[in-house]
Amino acid sequence: SGYQARTAKELPVLVRWFPASRLPHVPAKFLDIILYSREQILLERAAMSDTTPVPPEPWGIISIKPQDEDRETPMQPITMLRNALGREEGGSGVPLDRAKYAASVEYWAHRAEIQD
């Protein structure tokens, strides 16, 4: 575990993970590709005063999540909280949904990411 920010402009948040070096390598069965619309990417970058050019494509890949489930898994609770902080802090501006948050906590209480 440790505090991490996805970019230099975001607030660091507490994240749980298992070190990859301590686990056997097992390939993921599925990849979950997270896309944001170009409009959402522009809104988030503007809120963070990020002037990096945004490609003209209508969608951008935000995350690629390896997983074993053949369905979308709940977003991690800390990601939901970060998103609810607002775009100025690196979130998406999506308000926290209490029921989805509870489902996320139930799912992630017995899991953690694997990181290098």
Count of residues for the chain?
116
What would the pLDDT profile of 27-71 be if each residue is shown by its tens digit?
A: 999 999 999 999 999 999 999 899 999 999 999 999 999 999 999
Percent of the chain surpassing pLDDT 70:
100
If DSSP codes are grouped into helix, strand and coil, which group holds residue 101?
A: helix
Question: Is pLDDT of 116 > 90?
Answer: no
Instruction: Give this prediction's pTM.
Output: 0.81
Distance CA 70, CA 104 (A): 17
The answer on pLDDT for 8 being more than 90 is no
